[in-house]
Structure 1
Amino acid sequence: MYIKVYCILVHKNPLQLKNLLSILDDEKSLFFIHLDKKVNQIEYKMILQNSNCHFVKNRIACSWGKYSLVQAALNTMKEVQDYMNNNYSSSNYHFIMLSGEDLPLKTNCYIHDYLEKNIKTSLINYWKLPYENWWNGGFFRFESFYFFDYKKFKKLNYWVNRIIKKIHLNFLFPLNRFRKYFPSFQIYGASQWMVLSKDLVAFVIEKNNSNPKFNSIFKYVLAPDELYFATLILNYDLEQQFVINNNPTHLVCFEGLEASPKYLDVQDLEYNKSANLLFARKFDPHINQKTIDFAYKMISK
């Protein structure tokens, strides 16, 4: 038996989440919802009366650019693994990362058939640093500590790091620690929106549990959700025992130098209609309802 297990990171718009689940629910899927700990669960639980829907118990208060997003994904992986071992021990599954602002670009039948045919394959869109599409190749994310919210407290982060450099504690910076303790490892960036096989989920959990020093390096880097998983998987999988398809799963569009993706418009979907992408982000009924309607039409044909 093959099952799709969706991990959905959510922090707003319960009705939007309900609509997403209604689209994806094909009776061949399970949904594990990680609600930001800052969000009250009651409203969500009232409208999501679905036996296939499970709320992650070990919730994290999430912030953009912080390790909390990595921890939220890890906590969800562990709860998924426990649940599947207890209830579907003989079944295969993929662990599919989504946000509450995502929508599918393909039908449920297409997604299910494609993933079932590639049951041992994981989908991770990754690249080795330096990466030309990231400022300074992306290494700036490791060259300082990001103790505080990057968007709100840029100056505070700057001055704290300037003091650290002035008192000659540069060796504590994440990049220097990484090179000291893991000299043979490469740093990889990747899309946060991954599709992991059952075996790779188990591998990530095992390596996360057994490598506290590796984990600690990523605690104060910038946007570690785009760094941690690919760097862990591609370095610790020395024997290349896992099949990883390095192709994007999501349509995501950025404008200029903005750190966060834009809300999609109809032209974005039209332009990428022929691409073999499974999902898209991001959507909000208060911002781009016309694009949401167009996406519905795409998958209903």
Structure 2
Amino acid sequence: MKIAYLVMAHAVDEQLRLLIDRLLEDSRSSVYIHMDRKTADLKWLDSESRPNLHILRNREIVNWGGFSIVRATQNLLRMAVRDPKNERFVLLSGSCFPLLPSPALGDALLAAPACVAVWGKIDASLSRNEGLGRYVVTKAHPLDVTFINPKRGPLRDRLWNMFKAINNRLPYERRVEIDDLWKGSQFFVFDRALALTCSYPPNELVTTLRHALAPDEIFFTTLFVRRQREAGNRLTMTGPGAHVQGRHFIRKQTPMRRTWRQRLAGTVDLRRLTANDLAEVLVSDALFTRKCTPDISRAIIEAADARYHSSRGEVAKDWASFGKGKDSA
């Protein structure tokens, strides 16, 4: 059995190289890279020649909050399911990083069931275009128009917030079915059956979510929930503010201080890890963490490898305890 790591990246940088190198330390790993088509020069990535590293050529222009994220993820899934040995499919970003050494990580993923952090069901009675409100789906959100996407700069961010406020009050809604839509984290660990379902989903779901706000948070979560229900499995909810989302640790905190220059320059990344976060990250239930810099990734490698090997040089064997805040046996 093999593990397919699906990496959605926006930059060919040192952090991406560290991630690829770490994942490919396990012979059971294959890494599939989708590089945002806005990044024209693939640099060293274009000349990498490793049997388990696959670079997608049918690249999408990926825009924050748009359906282009779903299409790019599906392209990764469709490529990965071609290998019949792939049994786990793990979605990552280029700034994610594993919290375990590769052998322990692979064992944990192959032993664990499919996983998505489910926040809740889209509420048909909630007239809002945020959270679980139905306007997230029933209003049109033109986020795949790259020029106006709020992540393109501070001015566009302010214009987008104005548009959202106006859009929320306009007397229209798209006629789509929202009775069985679920929202959660976009990062998943899927088994092969779920990967195939998401690669070739029902047409009605594509039509419903094509103009939704952050449809990747709904598309994959909905298919996961429907599959769990069909299998008779219990569904566990996760609060959107929880630090552990599925198999990912995601730090969400507002900076204590911001200069006037920072306030005027635009939005602040509230999820980027710092060295002060590492102690909490490394004893969490997560297998991966988000928003790493190269320095943080190297610190994780050092700490994880030291924990993996006992003081006597013995390799820890209790993979189930790794990443769960317990000492290894």
Shorter-chain TM-score bucket reads: 0.7 to 0.9
CA shift at 1:78, angstroms? 0.9
Matches of 1:17 and 1:219 in 2, distance apart? 29
Q: Which 4+ residue blocks in structure 1 deviate beyond 4 angstroms?
A: 156-166, 241-247, 257-261
| 1:3-18 to 2 correspondences below 5 Å | 3-18=2-17
CA shift at 1:35, angstroms? 0.9
Give the unaligned 5+ runs of structure 2.
144-148, 238-244, 256-266, 307-329
Provide the secondary structure at the position in 2 that maps to 1:142: helix
Q: Which amino acid aligns with 2:62?
A: C
2:15–2:292 contact (8 Å) kept in structure 1: no
| 1:119-130 to 2 correspondences below 5 Å | 121-129=113-121
Matches of 1:5 and 1:75 in 2, distance apart? 13
Matches of 2:62 and 2:250 in 1, distance apart? 21
The structure-2 alpha-carbon separation of the partners of 1:242 and 1:27, relative to structure 1 and needing over 3 Å to count, comes to farther
1:25-48 deviations in Å (ceiling 9; x for gaps): 111111110111122354143452
Identify the residue that residue 195 of structure 2 maps to in structure 1. 201
Provide the secondary structure at the position in 2 that maps to 1:74: helix
1:123–1:245 contact (8 Å) kept in structure 2: no
Identify the residue that residue 252 of structure 2 maps to in structure 1. 254
Identify the residue that residue 294 of structure 1 maps to in structure 2. 299
Provide the secondary structure at the position in 1 that maps to 2:114: strand
Matches of 1:164 and 1:268 in 2, distance apart? 37
Which has the larger displacement, 255-264 or 21-30? 255-264
The structure-2 alpha-carbon separation of the partners of 1:4 and 1:278, relative to structure 1 and needing over 3 Å to count, comes to same
Provide the secondary structure at the position in 1 that maps to 2:231: coil
Matches of 2:27 and 2:287 in 1, distance apart? 18
| 1:65-104 to 2 correspondences below 5 Å | 65-82=65-82, 84=83, 89=84, 91-104=85-98
Matches of 1:35 and 1:81 in 2, distance apart? 19
Matches of 2:269 and 2:214 in 1, distance apart? 11
1:247-292 deviations in Å (ceiling 9; x for gaps): 621111122397954210122121232212101111234xxx2x33
Q: 1:215 aligns with which of 206, 209, 214?
A: 206
2:130–2:136 contact (8 Å) kept in structure 1: no
Identify the residue that residue 146 of structure 1 maps to in structure 2. 141
Which has the larger displacement, 217-226 or 239-248? 239-248
1:116-167 deviations in Å (ceiling 9; x for gaps): 223xx20111121469xx985431523532114245255367559858965x
Identity of counterpart residues, as a percentage?
21
Identify the residue that residue 19 of structure 1 maps to in structure 2. 18
Q: Which amino acid aligns with 1:171?
A: E
Provide the secondary structure at the position in 2 that maps to 1:200: helix
Do residues 279 (structure 1) and 278 (structure 2) align?
Answer: no
Give the unaligned 5+ runs of structure 1.
none
Q: 2:215 aligns with which of 224, 227, 235?
A: 224
The structure-2 alpha-carbon separation of the partners of 1:203 and 1:260, relative to structure 1 and needing over 3 Å to count, comes to farther
* Paired residue total: 273
Matches of 1:54 and 1:242 in 2, distance apart? 34
Provide the secondary structure at the position in 2 that maps to 1:98: strand
2:33–2:54 contact (8 Å) kept in structure 1: yes
Q: 1:171 aligns with which of 170, 173, 181?
A: 173
CA shift at 1:295, angstroms? 1.0
Identify the residue that residue 117 of structure 1 maps to in structure 2. 111
Provide the secondary structure at the position in 2 that maps to 1:194: strand
2:80–2:86 contact (8 Å) kept in structure 1: no
2:228–2:234 contact (8 Å) kept in structure 1: no
Matches of 1:244 and 1:44 in 2, distance apart? 43
TM-score, normalisation: structure 1:
0.79
Provide the secondary structure at the position in 1 that maps to 2:173: helix
1:124–1:194 contact (8 Å) kept in structure 2: yes
